[in-house]
Chain A
Amino acid sequence: MQRILKMIRKEFIQIRRDRGLLRMVAISPLVQLLIYGYVVATDIRALPMVVMDRSASSESQRLVDRFVASGYFKLQGYAASLSGVEEHLNSGQSMMALVIPEDYARDIRRGVVAKVQLLVDGTNSNTATIALGYAGGVIGAENAARLEQNLQRKGIREIEAGIREEPRVWFNPSLRAINYMVPGIVCVLLMEMMVPLTAFSLVRERERGTIEQLMVTPLRGGEVLIGKAVPYILIGLVDAVIILTAGTVWFGVPLPTNMLTLFVCTLLFIVVTLSLGILVATFVGTQQQAALSAQFVLVPNILLSGFMFPIESMPAGMQWFTTILPMRYFLVIVRGIMMKGLGLFDLMDQILPLAALGVLIFSISWLRFRKVFG
């Protein structure tokens, strides 16, 4: 016990001397919270659009107004010709063009199908898909209004048959994006800090040759490991607290009611990420290699865990692959605790696989640690 404490103290002294590191530990969560909070957690609105109105009628004006009034599109200007439209799309000034043909108003008045053209910049396929969806909604609404008008004019009473939905939104009734983002940022940040930091602190001893010195001391392998781990566990917890506090104070995200469950699960996840860091450290000889190979762990976890992109939309093979990513389970756990108020037992189907994965990763990294560092 005495020896472990000494080891922890040594590690703390090293961390304290590294001003740059302390700065990052404090700043990184805040910067990430701001960027993710304001960039990822925003709905797509006010997409820049250009109109080429060759009909120039009250009918065409009504359609344009409906596009603007929807709030999904922002009118950047009118183009007189197709080359003007092309210029807008090429320069990226607009991402969608609405082209209304000459006979639009005539067709509408005669009750013939009137066609309009939507030219969409597909370079960002994601935004393009969303824009098409919005445009479809706007045109659908205009259609419904026209139909009702036409029917009324012909003296036909509309039939009220059909289905009306009554939506009930649970857990996040106002559909605030930031409420969903903050739990995710806790996961990302822990992953981003813990894996490389642990790997670096172990590899550093080897790179500088100080590991031999540690090995000739009466410290046993396990004691070295615990001594190394404790300071980083604390750093992880501090960062989690920073994010939760800033998320509450700045973005008004409701605090979780079940703090103890959150604490226990966070601790479990930190241990898993530490084990991953140890595992990485056993495969590399220099800190530079550690920096690179940590990316091989981080990138799949961040991209495929459901942090930004839902897992169920992925191809089947990738969905299967996600089951070995620890972050996938922890994300569901943190969101479950913070947004749904779930308790330890509700979350067992996530906690158990995470713990099992943790035991597996830890065992492998412990075996390798003994072989490589022992």
Chain B
Amino acid sequence: MKHSALRAIARKEFIQIRRDKATIYMVFIFPVMMLVLYGFGIRYDVKSVPLTVMDQDNTAESRQYIDRFANSPYFAVRNYAENYRELQKDIDQGKSRVALVIPANFSERIGSRREAVVQVIVDGADNNTATIAMNYVSSISRSYSASILLQEMEALLRQTNLTIPAIEAEPRIWFNPNLESVQFIVPGIIAIIMMMVGTVLTAVTIVKEKEQGTIEQIVSSPIGRYELMIGKVLPYAVLSYLDFLIVVVASSLLFGVTIKGSLALLLITAFFYLIGVLGLGILISTATETQMSAMLTAILASMLPSILLSGFIFPISQMPAFLQAITVVVPARYFIEILRDIYLKGLGLEYFWKEALYILVFGFITLVLAARRFQKRLG
């Protein structure tokens, strides 16, 4: 391998990138945007479910019951409907997701210690929110029922020396005691952004030479193919790794996310991951002819699996078997596991050496495959 040739190609690429201020800005802003969106924007818990109430009873008791909804963080009362048509319109148009209908005999039945039936209408379109909202309704109703029951039974219970509840659970949350979502998304963002810069941009930049025909000029020059490949990729390797560092620093400055484990291990495993990321980018560039299809292929083959099949947000144990099988070849899966071990659990190499080894092997294989195909395509 000729070092001078390698240096010349890398230099050409660096000059091209340096002239391209827009790309540099974007490469540096992108990780910060992702952090802010994932960190501040998304809430994984369901809160303030919009609620329409139709109170046909209109008594102190019914209002007391409604107040429990109004005061709960889980519901936001949007409207007090006069009739069914109004209620239906609210649900149809998505103004409310849940409607509560309190019958005219509510207070009478409660007062006479009989069961009162309320109707709960749920917009089931979003099945997930619907299920959670129904659970919220049940628990509010249950606690309201319990308060009535308690009044009634207090004397009795004191006589008989019984406690309610019988069992109490003491939850302890490990690794991320305040359940901050930023803590858990940082590893995912690192894996995704390195793919974005390392795979997508690499694939596009190599294909660009093909598309514009400039690759012939380079191939006909005394530069060898490996030098060409490495030289083209090197600047994106640097950018991709820089983006990783930006996320590490920005998450610590903006969100106070700290690394519990070893920083050195973090830096090294990120480097392993980088090799595979770049190899994947080169592989994709050999399979596509235009920048447009290179980008679409790269997004489908690298970004999408890294977001959805890596356990980043959606746990792998919950996927159907055939998708679990596919996740085995997604490097982001192992990288995110390592990052979580280091970031949140503060564990050492003895817990994730297998994953680290896998990433390294993955990187090696993709790079070898990429190099062979790269040669064939141009030769």
Instruction: Please list the residues of chain A having a beta carbon within 8 angstroms of any beta carbon in chain B.
Output: 18-21, 23-24, 27-28, 31-32, 34-36, 38-40, 42-48, 63, 89-92, 95, 108, 111-129, 132-133, 135-137, 139-140, 142-143, 146-147, 150-151, 154, 156, 159-173, 175-177, 179-180, 192-193, 196-197, 200-201, 204, 207-208, 283-289, 291-293, 295-296, 299-300, 303-304, 309-310, 312-315, 317-318, 332, 335-336, 339-340, 342, 346, 349
On whether the beta carbons of A204 and B296 are closer than 8 Å, the reply is: no
Highest count of chain B CB atoms <10 Å: which of A42, A165, A283, A291: A291
Query: Size range of the interface on B?
Result: 35 or more
Given contacts A24-B293, A63-B167, 19 further A-B contacts (CB under 8 A): A18-B293, A35-B308, A35-B309, A92-B337, A118-B170, A125-B180, A128-B176, A147-B164, A147-B165, A162-B149, A164-B118, A172-B124, A196-B296, A286-B23, A299-B33, A300-B33, A303-B41, A312-B49, A318-B40
Q: A123-B175, A291-B295 are in contact. Are A161 and B317 (CB under 8 A)?
A: no
Measured CB to CB, the nearest residue on chain A to B196 is A295
The one of B134, B137, B175, B308 in contact with A39, judged by C-beta atoms closer than 8 angstroms, is B308
Subset of 5 A-B contacts with CB under 8 Å: A38-B323, A46-B318, A166-B117, A289-B23, A318-B40
Q: A31-B300, A128-B179, A180-B126 are in contact. Are A147 and B166 (CB under 8 A)?
A: yes
A139 to chain B, nearest CB (A): 5
Cα separation A89 to B172 with both chains bound (whole Å):
12
Cα separation A23 to B34 with both chains bound (whole Å):
29
Q: A288-B291, A310-B46 are in contact. Are A143 and B309 (CB under 8 A)?
A: no
- Chain A binding surface, main DSSP class: helix
On whether the beta carbons of A180 and B304 are closer than 8 Å, the reply is: no
The one of B43, B118, B291, B308 in contact with A315, judged by C-beta atoms closer than 8 angstroms, is B43
Cα separation A31 to B28 with both chains bound (whole Å):
30
Measured CB to CB, the nearest residue on chain A to B126 is A180
On whether the beta carbons of A116 and B169 are closer than 8 Å, the reply is: yes
CB neighbours of A121 from chain B (8 A): 174-175
CB neighbours of B30 from chain A (8 A): 292, 295-296
CB neighbours of B313 from chain A (8 A): 124, 126
Number of A-B contacts (CB under 8 A): 368
B242 to chain A, nearest CB (A): 15
B138 within 8 A of A: yes
CB neighbours of B153 from chain A (8 A): 156, 159
B65 within 8 A of A: yes
Q: A21-B293, A286-B20 are in contact. Are A314 and B124 (CB under 8 A)?
A: no
Q: A180-B127, A313-B46 are in contact. Are A142 and B167 (CB under 8 A)?
A: yes
